[in-house]
A and B are shown apart, each in its own frame.
Chain A
Amino acid sequence: MSDGRFDGQVAVVTGGAQGIGLAISRLLAERGATVCILDLDEGLAGKTAKGLSEVGPEGRAYFGDVTDEASLIAAREKILADFGHVEVLVNNAGVYPHATIRELTVEIWNTMFDVNAKGVLLATRVFMDPMIEKKYGRIVSMVTNDAYIAKPTTPAYAASKAAVLSLIRTFALELAPHQVLCNGVSPGAVATEKTKNAKWLVEKTPLIPLRRPATPEDMAEYVAFLSSNRNRFMTGETIVTNGGWSMF
């Protein structure tokens, strides 16, 4: 079967209640997945999940703090009790505070690595077991264009995402024999509700060869493809989807 759909599958999306995560949740739901949104903000996640039930089989919200393994295990157990299986995990939760080398506090550095890097380690480790058991799984982690370049405005963010690139490769090797494929998507400028009027986005747009920022829906397509049964031979890779930006 390689219809690119998710009928009968359960997808877990961390930070899936808003922004790019919401677009991912929505597209997976539209293509037939039962979507479990893991979010710190249960109220917002619940509202989003309700909307997903209108476009797909079912959306459901679960509390999950990606920095707290116990909360992830609790969420996994609830999801398995509710639906019995998990085929797709999207590691989307992340934080993006600006702080230069001089401004960076150890607290900001730690938070960034806790959420962006350790969060991927923990969520992947927690949700890989039901996939191993089924001998099928797709894990997609959101990275960023910044993981490959110097980033004076957000050095900790860039470094934490570079760590995710490495984790994707390690999980890929660990899980390949179990037919669980692990990949990443690296967006450049994406116009979400939060970023669409941001100074950096407005300044970057003319530098993008496609002459526009991406929409969250553009990004969701890459995640959906890598999460789907149409991807059967790609693992440990991260695709850069930045409108050609990194080539300059």
Chain B
Amino acid sequence: MSDKEFDGQVAVVTGAAGGIGFAIAKLFAERGATASIWDVDSAAADAAAKKLKDMGLKAHSQGLDVTDEEQIFAARDATLADCGQIDILVNNAGLYPEGTIQNMTREAWDRVFAVNVTGPFFLMRALMEHMKARKFGRMVNIVTVDAYMAKQTKPHYAASKAALLSVMKTYAIELAPHGILVNGVSPGAVATERAKLSDWLEPHTKKTPVGYSAEPEQMAEYVLFLASKRNMFMAGECIIASGGFYVASA
């Protein structure tokens, strides 16, 4: 296993201007890949790519709204023109808004599903033909432990991620014969900068058996493993990396 096992590969990570997405993009770049940072905030995507380039790493940036299929096509074509190929897609972009059954609006529900489910569905479809032609690809979807559980504070978020699990499995079956492995990672408590400002991280960490929340870099390791050539036989599965939270709650 080489320290630069992604040498020569191009990894697209959506929602990668900050948080877990940026940690994933950075780890790909550190291990030899060109990290293509796709984000709805194109200035932030450019800044994130610049940060990696300033470290001597290979990076690329692209602004897009993942809910708009035309913008997905444009981002794909621009990335292929700039980087030549796409080996890996990480569907990390997602919304995580509060809501309850009582106060849910149709707009809030639709918005979460548009970003968390519709986006990944059309992103995978837009990239699969390119990967099929090359007979190689890895797609990793960021899900959540909430996909398997009741979630009174975010019912639309939890349901959208449960739907993403289903979409992931369908793509896995469709694409496995072409050498494209589609899987997922379900994080528990991750201490991103935004999570550290929230009121949920501390109580969630207390309920996490290992006694700590994950650093974004720790979560990135699972994504990179599934995206690597060390993963040759796993398809349609989702790794739950929650520090034992899920096992303790089940």
Chain A residues lying within 8 Å of B243, measured Cβ to Cβ, are: 176, 233-235
Bitwise, A228-246 to B at CB < 8 A (1) or not (0) is: 0011111111011111101
Q: Are A231 and B234 in contact (CB under 8 A)?
A: no
Q: Are B241 and A242 in contact (CB under 8 A)?
A: no
Chain A residues lying within 8 Å of B234, measured Cβ to Cβ, are: 222, 239-243
Q: Are B233 and A173 in contact (CB under 8 A)?
A: no
Specify which of B3, B222, B239, B244 is in contact with A172 (CB 8 Å cutoff). Answer: B244
Among the stretches A12-20, A63-71, A193-201, A206-214, the one at the interface with B is A206-214
Given contacts A247-B169, A247-B173, contact A235 B244 (CB under 8 A): yes
Q: Are A176 and B211 in contact (CB under 8 A)?
A: yes
Given contacts A221-B230, A235-B209, contact A31 B1 (CB under 8 A): yes
Q: Which residues of B contact A (CB under 8 A)?
A: 1, 3, 169, 172-173, 176-177, 187-188, 209-211, 214, 217-219, 221-222, 225, 230-237, 239-244, 246-248, 250
Complex: chain B residue closest to A31, CB-CB: B1
Q: Nearest chain B CB to A223's CB is how many angstroms away? A: 11
Specify which of A179, A241, A242 is in contact with B210 (CB 8 Å cutoff). Answer: A179
Q: Are B209 and A234 in contact (CB under 8 A)?
A: no
Q: Which residues of A contact B (CB under 8 A)?
A: 2-5, 31, 169, 172-173, 176-177, 179, 181, 209-211, 214, 218-219, 221-222, 224-225, 230-237, 239-244, 246-248
Chain B residues lying within 8 Å of A181, measured Cβ to Cβ, are: 210
Complex: chain B residue closest to A229, CB-CB: B221
Q: Can you list 29 A-B contacts with CB-CB less than 8 angstroms, sorted by A residue number? A: A169-B247, A172-B209, A172-B244, A173-B247, A177-B210, A177-B211, A181-B210, A210-B176, A211-B176, A221-B230, A224-B230, A225-B230, A230-B221, A232-B221, A233-B214, A233-B218, A233-B222, A234-B239, A234-B240, A234-B242, A234-B243, A235-B210, A235-B244, A236-B209, A236-B246, A239-B239, A240-B234, A240-B237, A247-B235
Q: Nearest chain A CB to B222's CB is how many angstroms away? A: 7
Chain A residues lying within 8 Å of B240, measured Cβ to Cβ, are: 234, 237
Chain B residues lying within 8 Å of A218, measured Cβ to Cβ, are: 232-233
Complex CA–CA separation, A218 to B219 (angstroms): 22
Chain B residues lying within 8 Å of A222, measured Cβ to Cβ, are: 231, 234
Chain A residues lying within 8 Å of B250, measured Cβ to Cβ, are: 169
Q: Nearest chain A CB to B244's CB is how many angstroms away? A: 4
Chain A residues lying within 8 Å of B210, measured Cβ to Cβ, are: 176-177, 179, 181, 233, 235
Complex CA–CA separation, A232 to B235 (angstroms): 22
Q: Are B233 and A241 in contact (CB under 8 A)?
A: yes
Q: Are B177 and A209 in contact (CB under 8 A)?
A: yes
Complex CA–CA separation, A64 to B191 (angstroms): 43
Q: Nearest chain A CB to B24's CB is how many angstroms away? A: 14
Complex: chain A residue closest to B219, CB-CB: A233
Specify which of B3, B211, B233, B248 is in contact with A214 (CB 8 Å cutoff). Answer: B233
Q: Are B222 and A234 in contact (CB under 8 A)?
A: yes
Chain A residues lying within 8 Å of B244, measured Cβ to Cβ, are: 172-173, 176, 235-236
Complex CA–CA separation, A234 to B246 (angstroms): 10
Q: Are A243 and B231 in contact (CB under 8 A)?
A: no
Complex CA–CA separation, A177 to B237 (angstroms): 27
Complex CA–CA separation, A240 to B230 (angstroms): 15
Q: Are B235 and A173 in contact (CB under 8 A)?
A: no
Given contacts A209-B176, A241-B237, contact A236 B221 (CB under 8 A): no
Specify which of B218, B233, B241 is in contact with A210 (CB 8 Å cutoff). Answer: B233
Chain B residues lying within 8 Å of A2, measured Cβ to Cβ, are: 217, 221
Q: Nearest chain A CB to B59's CB is how many angstroms away? A: 21
Complex CA–CA separation, A172 to B241 (angstroms): 12
Q: Are A244 and B173 in contact (CB under 8 A)?
A: yes
Complex CA–CA separation, A181 to B176 (angstroms): 30
Chain B residues lying within 8 Å of A209, measured Cβ to Cβ, are: 172-173, 176-177, 235-236
Q: Are A237 and B230 in contact (CB under 8 A)?
A: no
Chain B residues lying within 8 Å of A225, measured Cβ to Cβ, are: 225, 230
Complex CA–CA separation, A242 to B122 (angstroms): 26
Q: Are B1 and A219 in contact (CB under 8 A)?
A: no
Complex CA–CA separation, A172 to B217 (angstroms): 22
Q: Are A244 and B246 in contact (CB under 8 A)?
A: no
Q: Nearest chain B CB to A170's CB is how many angstroms away? A: 9
Complex CA–CA separation, A237 to B242 (angstroms): 9
Complex: chain B residue closest to A222, CB-CB: B234
